[in-house]
Amino acid sequence: MLTTIADLRSFTASQHRAGKTVGLVPTMGALHSGHLSLVRESNKRCGTTVVSIFVNPAQFAPNEDFQRYPRTLENDLLLLQKDGCTPNGKTEVFVPEISEMYPRGFDTSVHTGSISQVLEGRSRPAHFQGVATVVLKLFLASQADTAFFGQKDYQQVCVIRRITADLNVPLEIVMCPIIREPDGLAMSSRNRYLTAAQRQQAVVLSQSLQLAETMLRSGTADSAAVQKAVTEKIQTAPEAVIDYVSIADPITLQELPAVESEAVILLAVRFGTTRLLDNLHYVL
Amino acid sequence: MLTTIADLRSFTASQHRAGKTVGLVPTMGALHSGHLSLVRESNKRCGTTVVSIFVNPAQFAPNEDFQRYPRTLENDLLLLQKDGCTPNGKTEVFVPEISEMYPRGFDTSVHTGSISQVLEGRSRPAHFQGVATVVLKLFLASQADTAFFGQKDYQQVCVIRRITADLNVPLEIVMCPIIREPDGLAMSSRNRYLTAAQRQQAVVLSQSLQLAETMLRSGTADSAAVQKAVTEKIQTAPEAVIDYVSIADPITLQELPAVESEAVILLAVRFGTTRLLDNLHYVL
């Protein structure tokens, strides 16, 4: 396990000297099958994988769940070991302290414009600035060749693609499919916050996305009609409070009045104090 | 001469493969002896030097001199050739179009906090955001090992050191001394804007800094007294309009009420529409 940026950089340099490419899987820990699918994809494509585990305070607002966000390092390391972790040499783990990532005097941030102002950006104004800054730090600290992110946080991937392209970071971004529970709920470290009743109701998210896809495939092009059907489906869950249901351009995330060949349907729904995301990329 | 980021990156990669380190000298062209001193320093320390020439629109406010900023590419290339330019193989030049640096959809910016809000940042609010963003792009596009900047833009170097450290950019920053005209005026591409009369008067900047150093060396620790003497000296020039005279901490640029062992004295003075900078790093 690496804990300093200096050690992380030496590790990557040694891998590069040995002719291996390095894949990076940035996580906040509390690992589940979704994260492990990213590690597997990285192990498939790259010579070595670095999994970073860092609950990044900069991407939480003061009223959010930074304090209670699940920290399960021991279990995370066990899961990674099963999936091909150190000392097998295939995967290394980077677990920095907050003071290693944000030393005294730290005073820089990375911003994206329109893409970070919609959807999650509207509900969580400083969120993507925190994400963009820490992810860029991880990219540059690790000197990885490829980084792997889950589609579950679709807008996050768009923001990271934007800064990577705009700042000429020499690194490829790979977006991996959403991993779901057997009943369809998208895996998330925050699912464990749900009560048993909320957990049952939360299945409406993926069900409403399936409904949207069926409508689009059967020729409904009008976004408002799809949005209405999705909203009504979610509202069948008694505790669901919708934050947004958006039918948007897959690159810019700007709302589409009508769906021609491609769209993303993005949802954010609260159950009590827990906020869940899901999305579906529709291609004709 | 390279014009695309892809070609720049291939060039650096080929130099690295040949075991050479790469030095970067970012400029806006209109080269003078100050720039050439940076190229010489880079050639001394690095196997290869890349000089970038790019008048960066993002660091000019709408009311500033972006349009009339001197563009003297042919002469710049001649000067660099004398100083060891292509095809000697020691120096390569990177001259991108605006659309290469800021393609359609570009929407990212890099910000620093307190250090970019004082001095130049107060007079030119978006300036350092533009500088930080383009310099980070040049660092990552070039994959240089070392970058060279002139002390004349002292605050700029502080901002660039800040973002480089904070974002874990694996690159060393070297600050090179101010190069001066025989009468003491700090070399600047903007000096050519001065009328003959203003050019003569502009010598008060370096003279006032010499006066400050003499006072500090002879035991005057009170910043207000030094500031008053510097101000009065500058005001002997009939066209001089002072923007600021600051006696500040060399790292944070926060004002120092008293000078103990170290300080930077920073000046910004207008002559007509031309704004000149100068500074002196005082160490006991």
How much is the ipTM here?
0.95
A166 touches chain B (CB under 8 A): yes
Q: What distance in Å separates the CA atoms of residue A260 and residue A41, rounded to the nearest whole number?
A: 31
pLDDT at B222: 97
Question: Pairing relation of β-strands A274-283 and A262-271?
Answer: antiparallel
Judge whether residue A85 has pLDDT over 60: no
> Is B35 among the residues known to form the active site?
yes
B169 touches chain A (CB under 8 A): yes
Total structural domains within chain A: 2
Are A64 and A93 part of one and the same domain? yes
Q: Residue B240 — φ and ψ, nearest 5°?
A: -70, 130
| Residues facing B263 on adjacent strands | B282
Q: Report how far apart the first and last C-alpha atoms of chain A are (Å, whole number).
A: 45
Q: What distance in Å separates the CA atoms of residue A11 and residue B203, rounded to the nearest whole number?
A: 53
B218 touches chain A (CB under 8 A): no
Judge whether residue A4 has pLDDT over 50: yes
Q: What distance in Å separates the CA atoms of residue B272 and residue B270, rounded to the nearest whole number?
A: 6
Give strand ranges (E) for B3-107: 22-27, 48-53, 91-94
Query: Using the beta-carbon criterion (under 8 Å), do A111 and B110 form an inter-chain contact?
Result: yes
| Residues facing B267 on adjacent strands | B245, B278
pLDDT at B84: 62
Q: Does residue B63 sit within a domain?
A: yes
Q: Which domain holds residue B218?
A: 189-279
Question: How many Å separate Cα B139 from the centre of its chain?
Answer: 15
Q: What distance in Å separates the CA atoms of residue B71 and residue B55, rounded to the nearest whole number?
A: 8
Token output for B111: 């910000």
Query: Using the beta-carbon criterion (under 8 Å), do A167 and B107 form an inter-chain contact?
Result: no
Query: Using the beta-carbon criterion (under 8 Å), do B5 and A112 form an inter-chain contact?
Result: no
CATH number of the structural domain spanning residue A67: 3.40.50.620
Q: Does residue B284 sit within a domain?
A: no
Are B134 and B42 part of one and the same domain? yes
Q: Which amino acid is at B233?
A: K
B19 touches chain A (CB under 8 A): no
Contact B265, B247 (CB under 8 A): yes
- For A187, other C-beta atoms within 10 Å of its C-beta total 17
Contact B13, B143 (CB under 8 A): yes
Closest-CA residue in chain A for B8?
A168
Are A165 and A29 part of one and the same domain? yes
Of the pLDDT bands very low, low, confident and very high (cuts 50, 70, 90), residue A90 is confident
Are A172 and A202 part of one and the same domain? no
Are B268 and B140 part of one and the same domain? no
Q: Does residue B249 sit within a domain?
A: yes
The DSSP result for A135-165, as a single string, is: HHHHHHHHT-SEEEEEGGGHHHHHHHHHHHH
Of the pLDDT bands very low, low, confident and very high (cuts 50, 70, 90), residue A82 is confident
Contact A232, A204 (CB under 8 A): no
pLDDT in tens, A147-199: 999 999 999 999 999 999 999 999 999 999 999 999 999 999 999 999 999 99
The DSSP result for B97-155, as a single string, is: -HHHHS-TT--EEEEE-GGGTSTHHHHSTTHHHHHHHHHHHHHHHHT-SEEEEEGGGHH
Question: How many Å separate Cα A15 from the centre of its chain?
Answer: 26
Q: Does residue A118 sit within a domain?
A: yes
**Long-range CB contacts (within 8 A, 24+) of B33-36:** B33/B179, B33/B187, B34/B150, B34/B152, B34/B178, B34/B179, B34/B186, B34/B187, B34/B188, B35/B150, B36/B79, B36/B80, B36/B83
A30 phi-psi bin (left φ>0, alpha ψ -120 to 50, beta other): left
CATH number of the structural domain spanning residue A215: 3.30.1300.10
The DSSP result for A66-131, as a single string, is: TTTS---HHHHHHHHHHTT-TTSSSEEEE---HHHHS-TT--EEEEE-GGGTSTHHHHSTTHHHHH
B113 touches chain A (CB under 8 A): yes
Give strand ranges (E) for chain A: 22-27, 48-53, 91-94, 108-112, 146-150, 172-176, 240-248, 262-271, 274-283
Give strand ranges (E) for A228-273: 240-248, 262-271
Q: What distance in Å separates the CA atoms of residue A174 and residue A150, rounded to the nearest whole number?
A: 8
Q: Residue A33 — φ and ψ, nearest 5°?
A: -60, -30
Are A169 and A237 part of one and the same domain? no
Nearest to A108 among B112, B140, B143 (CB): B112
Are A170 and A219 part of one and the same domain? no
Block mean pLDDT (10 aa), chain B, length 284: 97 96 97 95 94 97 94 95 64 97 97 95 94 98 98 98 98 98 97 97 98 97 98 98 98 95 97 97 95
Token output for A147: 């980084």
pLDDT in tens, A114-152: 999 999 999 998 999 999 999 999 999 999 999 999 999
Question: How many Å separate Cα A32 from the centre of its chain?
Answer: 12
Q: Does residue A181 sit within a domain?
A: no
Are A168 and A196 part of one and the same domain? no
Judge whether residue A15 has pLDDT over 70: yes
Residue B245, C-beta contacts closer than 8 angstroms, at least 6 positions apart: B208, B227, B230, B231, B234, B265, B266, B267
Q: Number of Cβ pairs closer than 8 Å across A and B?
A: 71
Q: Given A176, A208, A230, which residue is the final one in a domain?
A: A176
Is the Cα torsion angle A43, A47, A48, A49 positive or negative in sign? negative
A219: closest CA of chain B, how far (Å): 31
Q: What is the mean pLDDT of residues A87-115?
A: 91
Contact B111, B132 (CB under 8 A): yes
Query: Using the beta-carbon criterion (under 8 Å), do B167 and A107 form an inter-chain contact?
Result: no
Token output for A102: 């944000």
Q: Residue A115 — φ and ψ, nearest 5°?
A: -70, -20
Are B32 and B172 part of one and the same domain? yes
When mean pLDDT is compared across A124-128, A221-225, A244-248, the lowest value belongs to A124-128
Judge whether residue A9 has pLDDT over 50: yes
Are B50 and B90 part of one and the same domain? yes
